[in-house]
Structure 1
Amino acid sequence: MKNLKTFKIGGIVIGAVIIIAILVVSLFVTRIPNGYVGVVYSPNGGVKDNTLSQGWKLVGAFDKVTKYPIRIQTVEYKDIQIATSDGKSITIDFAYNYQVEPDKVSFIFNKFGPISIEEIEDTYLKTRFRDAARKGISKFTVIDVYGEKSSDAAIDVQQRFSDDVAGLGFIVSNVTVGVPQPDAKTQEAIDKRVEASQELERKTTELEIAKKEADRKRVEAQGNADKLLIEAEGQAKANKVLQQSLTEELVQYETVKKWDGVLPYVSGSNIPVIQLPSQKTETTK
């Protein structure tokens, strides 16, 4: 019985030692995830120059480590209210990619303090992005944002936002502009503009078709006219040649070829007369 109690006490002691060891180790070890770097802040010495790369790293017992992503991160901002150049108020969703320059993480820490990157995204970066979006979208009409110029609006916003935060060490890319959500009056105005644009496009298409059809008929008529002219000229030349080749003897010869030698029966005493060419007889000397 005494040995059993001794064994239980020994197990408790070993377990306590293990737990204490884990707690002690956790004070001196930190893990940096893949795609992140860590900035170490010591209460005694401030921010350390060397950043921590990915993996398990030893740190001081009282050091604080703030992690920053150096791989691409995606941020989405929902329902941002913006006014267009024609005074329409619309609600738009935005998204963008960014990453932190590794050699500027210490500067970012000194700028914002020991807060997470998610807090920076939802405070400072969101404020700067809203400002860039407001200035960029305000250059376009609501129809532009809905139509082909939506990509131009996204490029404008991205350029403004990227230039604004680049000095802090944030690299911005791929800003996308969602489909605007206008109020009822704005939607009605948009629908009318779209209908008018579609009607204009339809009429323009019909006009182009009519022009092409008219051109086709004009070319066809010109072709027919040229054909008739060529035929007429050919017939005139043929008639001229025929007229020049006709002689009295040729006419009589053609008549005789077609006569079967029978005189036609006609009423009265008139008998058709066919003059045959006289045959010359040779005189015998």
Structure 2
Amino acid sequence: MFLIILGMLIISVGFFMAKGNSPLARFKGIVRIVGLVVIFLGAVTSMLKVIDAGDVGVKTLYGKVDENVLHSGLNIVNPLVEVTTFDIRTQNYTMSAVHNEGNKDGDDAIRVLSADGLEVVIDLSVLFKVKPTSAPNILGTIGTDYVDKIVRPITRTAIRDNAVSYDAVALYSLKREEFQQKIYQTIAASFAKRGLDLEQLLVRNVTLPPSVKAAIESKINAEQEAQKMTFVLQKEKQEAERKRVEAQGIADYQKILSTGLSDKQLQYEAIKAQKEIALSSNTKIILLGSNKNPVILGGMN
């Protein structure tokens, strides 16, 4: 379009030169030809439109939107149409309490009231993309700022509307997956009506009030202590059982000795013990024989 306007200006200059008595008037024909060439080049370039990979183009002519989109590559179009590109790749919109982590600066987390009246802070990421065939309808009904008009408000509203059905602790732990699936279905249905595909919904973090968080941590610590005590008691019980079995074994052994050993067996055991003492390297005094006729052996190695 710029070249067409430039060519028209050059032709106008040529007509101006033709009316005057300037020495340059003899070049008026050349100027007009140059102007026509520039207009021609402008018309040709205006008919060629390159759409980048991952985008589609939507044509509008005097405010009317063409339902047929331009796909990536080189396209020939009416030089009078205006082409608006839409990104059809996966887009990520994050709302976070951490500064500069989300799409907006500062704390942009979603604050909701749970069923038990507590304020819960939720960090969320939305993965979505524009349906290529729906790009003309989005341009005509919403515009190019569909993220601020559709993605953000619908997501935040769905979070708040569904969070009121859950207690704060349930959102934090037991019902988190169920909550995420429920809001996914709600948001996906709303997006589909407006030409957007919801690919994935990620509940990144659920922050409870400090008092509730402290109560949960205290409960967890108490449960861990109870489990530890159960382990200790079980270990003590096993040790007591081991000692009981050991004591019973000793008692059985002593019973066998007191009732089942003869004098010769006792004498044999005594000789074995005396032999071990005699072979040791320590100083020793050994008494052999009976009480009436003892034999004393002494020595030092």
- The TM-score normalised by the length of structure 2 is 0.62
Aligned residue number for residue 113 of structure 1: 140
Match of 1:153 among 173, 179, 186: 179
**SS state of the match for residue 34, structure 1?**
coil
- How far residue 52 of structure 1 moved from its aligned partner, in angstroms, is 1.4
Alignment of 1:116-265 (within 5 A): 116-117=143-144, 119-146=145-172, 150=176, 152-177=178-203, 179=205, 190-242=209-261, 258=290, 259-260=292-293
The aligned runs of 1:268-283 (5 Å cut-off) are none
Give the match's secondary structure for 2:115: coil
- In structure 2, the residue matched to 1:40 is 59
Q: What is the match of residue 24 of structure 1? A: 43
Task: State the distance in 1 between where 2:39 and 2:250 align.
Answer: 116
- Equivalent residues of 2:49, 2:74 under 8 A apart: yes
Q: Distance in 1 between matches of 2:58 and 2:28?
A: 43
Assess if the C-alpha contact under 8 Å between 2:142 and 2:149 holds in 1: no
Unpaired segments ≥5 residues, structure 1? 182-186, 247-255, 263-285
SS of 1:113's equivalent in the other structure is helix
Amino acid aligned to 2:162: G
- How far the C-alpha of 1:204 sits from its partner, in A, is 2.2
Unaligned runs of 5+ in 2: 1-22, 96-107, 266-287, 296-301
Is the CA contact (8 Å cut-off) linking 1:35 and 1:71 kept in structure 2? yes
Q: Which amino acid aligns with 2:198?
A: V
What is the identity, as a one-letter code, of the residue corresponding to 2:219? L
Query: CA deviation digits over 1:101-159, x for unaligned, max 9?
Result: 33x32xx5246517643x22221333332332222332333444455755543333222
Identity %: 20
Shifted more, 228-237 versus 60-69: the winner is 60-69
Please, which of 71, 79, 93 is the counterpart of residue 61 of structure 1? 79
**Distance in 2, Cα, partners of 1:234 & 1:261:** 30
Amino acid across the alignment from 1:133:
I
* Aligned amino acid, residue 63 of structure 1: V
Cα distance change on mapping 1:129 and 1:15 into 2, 3 Å:
farther
* 1:251-285 Cα distance to aligned partner (Å, 9 max, x none): xxxxx9534399xxxxxxxxxxxxxxxxxxxxxxx
Point out the more displaced range, 144-153 or 191-200: 144-153
Q: CA RMSD in A?
A: 3.9
Separation in 2, partners of 1:124, 1:261: 112
Asked if the contact 1:66/1:115 (under 8 Å) is kept, the reply is: no
1:83 aligned onto 2:113: yes
- What SS does the corresponding residue of 1:40 show, helix, strand or coil? strand
Give 1:98's aligned residue: 128
* AA in 2 matched with 1:51: V
Which letter does structure 2 place at the counterpart of 1:67? Answer: T
> How many residues matched?
238
Aligned in 2, Cα 1:32/1:260: closer, same or farther, shift over 3 Å?
same
Aligned to 2:90: 72
Contact preservation (8 Å) 2:124, 2:205:
no
Q: Which amino acid aligns with 1:235?
A: Q
Using the TM superposition, name which of 80-89 and 7-16 deviates more: 7-16
Distance (Å, rounded) in 2 between the aligned partners of 1:60 and 1:114 = 23
Deviation at 1:216, TM superposition (A): 1.7
TM-score by length of 1: 0.65
